[in-house]
Amino acid sequence: MSGGTWHRVAGKDEIAPDEPKKVTVGSEEIALFRVDGEIFATHNICTHAYASLADGFQEGGEIECPLHEGRFDVKTGKALCPPVSEGLKIFAVKVEGDDVFVQV
């Protein structure tokens, strides 16, 4: 997670708890999550098949894939239950004022 460029991807208020938001930086699809007031960013595409995790079901620090209900930890990207076994790429996030930046 070092190197890379910081990109402003959203306003902080656009990301609500348990309502993930999909953003795109170049060719990279990223899902933003708000957990306990903090913002986290993961790759948006499930590691199992082609599904948009931002369309899934977030519960606190976990996101459930809308296609086959695999779950990931949004802070670490770790895969939590079958059928997903491969973790998600995560991105560094910083918040400056109302602006959310992701390092890609």
- Work out whether 67 is an interface residue with ligand FES (CB under 6 A): yes
The answer to whether the CB of 49 falls within 8 A of the CB of 68 is: yes
- Work out whether 48 is an interface residue with ligand FES (CB under 6 A): yes
Question: Quick one: DSSP state of residue 75?
Answer: T
The count of residues in the chain is: 104
- Work out whether 68 is an interface residue with ligand FES (CB under 6 A): yes
How far is it, in rounded angstroms, from Cα 82 to Cα 97? 38
How far is it, in rounded angstroms, from Cα 8 to Cα 72? 24
7/48 with CB nearer ligand FES: 48
The residue within the footprint of ligand FES, chosen from 21, 41, 70, 100 (CB under 6 A), is: 70
35/51 with CB nearer ligand FES: 51
Q: What angle do CA 63, 68, 40 make, to 5 degrees?
A: 15
Q: List the x/- string, 76-95, binding to ligand FES by CB under 6 A.
A: -------xx-----------
- Work out whether 63 is an interface residue with ligand FES (CB under 6 A): no
